[in-house]
Chains A and B, each alone.
Chain A
Amino acid sequence: MNYRSHIDLGVATTVIIIGAIFALEAWRIDPASYEAIGPRAVPVFLACLMIGLGALIGVSAFASKDQTTAAEEADFGFHNSDIPRVFAVIGAGAVTTLVFWAAGYLVAMILGTLLMLWVFGVRAPLVLILVAIVAGVVYQFVFMGLMGLLDPRGALIDLRWLSRLITPGS
């Protein structure tokens, strides 16, 4: 089995799992309706189709003969990927979202900038801190101030007394 087939088996498994989750969730839809085709029919059909096509990928991964050239493989799969860095970006994104939920926008923006700069290789501490704070303040000012978006209360700590200082019109 070549690399592509290995990846495709993983793909098939993932697709079938996602399809199964959607199928279970679709089956839980209340089908009651005055229509001939109720609200459940289309989602169930799509989810089952997804499982079927996922299985097809799995089968053809076993059956496949290696025909692809190295050049075609370069962009396929993860063997050229810097996996730790990929997870660093996702992790920084997750932390930013979590802080956004817990402590509001301003803090999330400052922390998010800091983490992302770090992931992208900026290491000078002073630059990290200064750029992050300036970016946070500017994004707060523009989005919450000038554009008048809802400045949400953090679910764990309410820091709006701080963000209000740099938000015109609130």
Chain B
Amino acid sequence: MKIFLLSTAITALTTAAFADYPERPIRLMVGFSAGGGTDTSARGFGSFTAEAPTMNGMPMVIVNQPGGSGLQAAQTVANADPDGYTLYIINNGTMSGASLSTPEAGFDPRESLVNLGCVTQLVTGLHIPAEHPAQSAAEWVESVRDNGEIVRWSTSGAATMHAVVGHLFMNANGIDHQVVPFRGGSNARNALVADDVTASFNGNQLISGFEEDIKVLGVPSLERDPANPDVPTFAEQGLEALNVTGPMCLYGPVGLPDEVVADVSAAVEAVTELEGFGRFMGRSGLAAMHLPPEEGTENLNRLMETFAPVIAEIAEAQQ
């Protein structure tokens, strides 16, 4: 009897607690320092959430916890109470790269986090100096293969999404290559601007302002990126498609109540449809793009599977 009373009391309490979720601002964790790419997108998103009908006018407040390429904050969220007031926003590509390249952290996002939908995406591009004669990725591949020299390419780190795409591309097209990792995408881009490397695999949002120095030959997505509709995919040019993009998704800890999942994912969709949000993302060289939770989860699973052998290979190549 006592147990029955207690459990009804708890049910009553929890229902009451979630009846009108959210009743206070939600903390949206960002795994990087204030001001970086992820942070700017997250702050933009957070400021628009109050306009979503399911959010009761509550904003999402950004809280930064940098560390371990975002894994630190991911673990904080995974261990938080599943009450829907501590959520996480990160790029799937970043999270896959980070968790696979630090197996000692023992963190698998597929087991510890629940996808709540995605709001935009980062797309890797093959960047080369603007004065290079090649007009397409296919032409470029041919010219560097004929040339016979080792292709040195810069990228944003040893095991980031952009690095993985670079390795996949070079291996798929049989190009003799040498990666030169830099600390962050901007440094990798600057090395291309300074003509130190032949090519760069890097985020396409980083070329805004550098159109005179750099051209983008192709992207590894199945469809063209809405932020750069002029850039063809590799598949269009007769090369292997690769199918790697990094959507930026919201996550919560495992065990979120259904109502929270429904409300947040509805809010994610509503925000991506706001014109102001699209304009905001446009200034960062990105585009608003919505993926429902199932597709976000599917994307993460695919990235983890695609990245695992490449990252293992990168580690092995060093032996």
Contacts and interface: CB of A to CB of B under 8 A. Distances in A.
Interface string B54-67: 00000001111100
A148 B25 CA distance: 12
B61 A169 contact: yes
Contacts of B178: 34
Contacts of B29: 150
B47 to A, nearest CB: 13
A170 B27 contact: yes
B147 interface: no
A149 interface: yes
A124 to B, nearest CB: 38
A32 interface: yes
Nearest to B178: A34
Contact of A149 (B63, B76, B318): B63
A148 B62 contact: yes
A148 B30 CA distance: 12
Interface residues of B, number: 14
B63 A34 contact: no
Given A150-B64, A150-B65, A169 B25 contact: yes
Contacts of B1: none
A32 B318 contact: yes
Contacts of A150: 29, 63-65, 76
A148 B61 contact: yes
A170 B28 CA distance: 11
A149 B29 CA distance: 10
A169 B24 CA distance: 8
Interface string B15-51: 0000000001101010000000000000000000000
B194 interface: no
A2 interface: no
A169 B27 CA distance: 9
> Which one of B65, B318, B319 has the highest number of Cβ atoms from chain A below 10 Å of its Cβ?
B318
8 contacts: A32-B319, A34-B178, A34-B318, A148-B61, A170-B24, A170-B25, A170-B27, A170-B61
Nearest first, the 5 A-B pairs at minimum CB distance are A32-B318, A33-B318, A150-B63, A32-B319, A150-B65
